[in-house]
A and B are shown apart, each in its own frame.
Chain A
Amino acid sequence: MAKLVALNNKQHQHLHIDTQLAEAEGADLHLVPVVLSEFMKLVVSYPIVFSKNGDTGEFMCSALMGLEEGENLFYEKGQWQSIYIPLQLARQPFFLGHDNQAVSADNSSSEQAQNLVMCINESHASVISQASTNTHSAPNHNETQEPLFNETGEATSYLQAQQNRLVQLLQGEQQTHDFIATLLDMQLITAIALEITLADGSSHKVNGLYSIDEEKLAQISDAQLILLKQKHYLSPIYTLIASTSHIYSLINKKNQRIEQGAKWFQAATL
């Protein structure tokens, strides 16, 4: 069970976060929600697609990590094999929550935003209540441990970076929501049918992925084009389209895993 509490430099002064364990949250996710402002970084490694939120059916932007549920082809041997980790994972185990005491009866949205405070999931595996001493843990483990506060109770640069990520996510979610609504309105989103044949001859259908309909995009009206330009959506649209070709590298990665698996199997039966 998640234990969510507002972050506080007295109560949490000695906490450390094991960043490697924090990022392990994404180890078996094949889709990770992303926001518009990180598209430029995502495009280096991941296909960016639209997928549907399982609880609400609403569209969201996601980085595609694997070709079936529970598969993350970028996470291997206990760590990420990629230079950029999406904000949604990198921010773990922190999130923005409402400061209950501060919230007044009036919940206008601006009021709410002001009342947001940084919180921590105390029961997250990455939370270490005291810096582990050298005698108790492997040295390489120590390297991935970050303190939250210094001796005088000020936020460390690690914590500040996490704070910035949370803010970027909050703003990004609203912007991404509008991006999707605009594209839906112009009927520019289309389902992609992925039928993949792998090295071992098995074929897979990957369902539930959507992208931008390039044919329709080529036919939008001038008024629509101007709207997309004014909203600064042209860049993310083309970034998203360009990122789709990473699906081929996913297939490669998957084939490599299968080959490794086959070798392992041979070795085991010899």
Chain B
Amino acid sequence: MSNSIKTVVVVGGGAAGWITAGRIAAQHNAKQGDIKVKLIESPNVPIIGVGEGTWPTMRNTLIQLGISETDFIRECDASFKQGAKFAKWVTGAEDDFYYHPLILPQGFTKGNIAPYWQMQKHQIGKSFSDAVCFQEALCEQGLAPKSIRTPEFSAIANYAYHLDAGKFAQLLQRQCTQVLGVEHILGDVINVKSAVNGDVAAVITQQQGSIEGDLFVDCSGFKSLLLGEHLGVPFKPCNDVLFIDNAIAVQVPYATDNAPIASHTISTGQNAGWIWDIGLQHRRGVGYVYSSHHSSEAAAMDALATYVGPQFKDLSVRHIPIQSGHRQQFWKNNVVAVGLAAGFLEPLEASALVLIELSAEMIAQQLPARREVMDIVAKRFNSTFLYRWDRIIDFLKLHYVLTQRTDSAFWQDNTDPASIPDSLNELMQLWRYHPPYDHDFTSNNEVFPAASYQYVLYGMGFESDLAPIQHTLTQTEFANTQFQLNQQNIAQVVAKLPSNRELLNKIREYGLQQL
């Protein structure tokens, strides 16, 4: 161990490990040997292999890692994701749904049209997201967010991806080892050698002996080998807020080769949780995340079987227990945890990979040059990410608190004030009279933009009491123009964009251009 930070050792070869190793290696020129990045992966412990929904940040992550979008789409069975459709979250009725798209409401940077929508919603006759954003129409019609002429990573409608987690890890591994200069070590970490100051001096592997490093990134999954087990940083559960504690997952083949591929995640409320439905090119990933306090495993299996249909009996079901919560701090001594080793809440809104990307970015950009300054970076990292985890918890809980479902204890318990964090409660109070907007979110470290809160709030049927602020609502004309512009945008994009399946097939055949 030296005083300069020259060797970074990443433990774990899931998405967290490879993304973090890759970002550090790219930023610090590991290829030229300026610093060394080593990734140790157990040949015996498989990666979790779920986690198929992403945020648009993934486009930038791929760019930073030097991965072409064409390769990514071809090799990871990937497809385009234009947000999420939440079905049966409000009333549970068959026709109950709303969208959380990935495009800001029309004119959002110039003015807030949300209160005008609320005042005129009966005349407008459209849901909030459909009235202010053209993306819902694209999703409902199964259209892609771009055309074959749109260059790599460029968009006509903002998008993220759905991907095959196993294939994604393989592609990341190849790029990291063959292009970015990451050294890949297959070995089981069985012990840790400590320095006097409590730092990790080396990890001892069963197969490759001792591996020394200056900074250790713990990406060992739920085990949290270095941060949790070795350094003893406590886990902060949040199952008093978010009740999901189990997942059952299946991979569902398409009926035909040319079946449509949804270009959004479909999340359907159930008795004791919700079912995710993610369309890849060659199969769907479907899973039920539920609360074991509100449902037996057998009942959950029945619900998933009903959702999937007759073919369910031929599919193999994976069971994954979830403990929702996170470590009390993420960087201690010379160990920083990223991914499941740092924590996990529930798959809602695909917030796990985005946190991995944000963590990897901050570590790569602020990698301490010497050990003396590491504690300062650690402190900043901890406060940034504690803030982010809290905001994500608030945002996920927001999806549940406004439900009108009374058909099961799961939904009723979710509206219990005791289960709502104070920070979320405060925002909800504020929004009773002030339609949510940018100025409610003042930190540089927000994960979800104000627009996302609007989509979820209004999607869930929220209304502010506008009477006290009526005198400030003088932009009716501006708002009406935006509603009209959105109508025009819908007509335009619907006319020119291909179906999601058609575009993906074309990318497989011709690839996307770089410009």
User: Which A residues form the contact surface with B (CB < 8 A)?
Assistant: 52-59, 184, 189-191, 208, 210
Contact = CB atoms under 8 A, between A and B. Distances in A.
Contacts of B148: 52, 54-57
Contact of B510 (A56, A184, A189, A190): A56
B481 interface: no
Interface in B470-515: 506, 509-515
A257 to B, nearest CB: 26
A189 B515 contact: yes
A47 to B, nearest CB: 19
Contacts of B110: none
A57 B510 contact: yes
A58 B515 contact: no
B514 A52 contact: no
B251 interface: no
Interface in B127-161: 147-150
Interface of B: 147-150, 506, 509-515
Taking each of B147, B150, B513, which has the highest tally of chain A beta carbons within 10 Å of its own beta carbon? B513
Nearest to B507: A57
14 contacts: A53-B149, A54-B148, A54-B149, A55-B506, A56-B506, A57-B513, A58-B510, A58-B513, A59-B513, A184-B514, A189-B515, A191-B515, A208-B149, A210-B515
Contacts of B510: 56-58
B349 to A, nearest CB: 31
Taking each of B149, B509, B511, which has the highest tally of chain A beta carbons within 10 Å of its own beta carbon? B149
A191 B514 CA distance: 11
Contacts of A54: 148-149
A56 B147 CA distance: 9
Contacts, number: 31
Contacts of A57: 147-150, 506, 510-513
B512 to A, nearest CB: 6
Contacts of A190: 515
B148 to A, nearest CB: 3
A184 B515 CA distance: 9
A102 B513 CA distance: 37
Contacts of A53: 149
Contacts of B506: 55-57
Nearest to B147: A57
A143 to B, nearest CB: 41
Nearest to B511: A57
Contacts of A59: 513
Contacts of A191: 515
Contacts of B513: 52, 57-59, 184
Contacts of A189: 515
A54 B147 CA distance: 9
Given A55-B506, A59-B513, A210-B515, 4 more contacts: A56-B148, A56-B510, A57-B150, A58-B513
A55 B149 CA distance: 8
Contacts of B509: 56
Contacts of A210: 515
Taking each of A52, A55, A57, A58, which has the highest tally of chain B beta carbons within 10 Å of its own beta carbon? A57
A176 to B, nearest CB: 16
B396 to A, nearest CB: 38
B63 to A, nearest CB: 16
A208 B85 CA distance: 33
Contacts of A55: 148, 506
Nearest to B146: A57
Contacts of A56: 148, 506, 509-510
Nearest to A207: B149
Contacts of A208: 149
A52 B154 CA distance: 15
Lowest 9 CB-CB distances: which A-B pairs, in order? A57-B148, A56-B510, A52-B149, A57-B149, A57-B510, A57-B513, A58-B510, A191-B515, A56-B148
B70 to A, nearest CB: 10
A57 B514 CA distance: 11
B508 to A, nearest CB: 12
A55 B512 CA distance: 12
A55 B147 CA distance: 9
Contacts of B147: 57
A198 B263 CA distance: 40
B267 to A, nearest CB: 32
A49 B256 CA distance: 41
A54 B514 CA distance: 16
A54 B502 CA distance: 13
A53 B149 CA distance: 7
A58 B515 CA distance: 11
A57 B512 CA distance: 7
A166 to B, nearest CB: 25
